Amino acid sequence: MLLIILAIWWGYKKARATGRNPFLWAAISAGVFIGVQLLVGAGFGFAIGIGQALWGWDDSAFDKYQLLAAIPAIVLSIGALMLVFRFLDKVPQEPVATEPPPPPTFGQGE
């Protein structure tokens, strides 16, 4: 729980520092962190289900290997979050104007 709060906070701070929408990037950071954990957990569950179906593993195999599934899920979600933060660290380039803007008219065209 602490890691997801830190992910949201750092995503917000990094986005605000580079001029991006901080609320959107805080939500993206949280979504990436939670999404990777869900995908890794689903992958381990799928692998254990295959093992139970094909090789007759014990029905409590997921309870036995829960820590084995949780540690890679946290490590991979932190890695994915670091990729998001690496993207947020890059300051977006503003387009370079090829010519100066036109002079102001101050209502002369009315």
Domain boundaries, the chain: 2-89
Q: What's this model's pTM, rounded to 2 decimal places?
A: 0.79
From first to last of its 110 residues, the chain has per-residue pLDDT tens of: 899 999 999 999 999 999 899 999 999 999 999 999 999 999 999 999 999 999 998 888 888 888 989 999 999 999 999 999 999 999 888 777 788 888 888 877 66
pLDDT of residue 102: 83
Please spell the DSSP secondary structure of 73-90, one letter per residue. HHHHHHHHHHHHHHHHHS
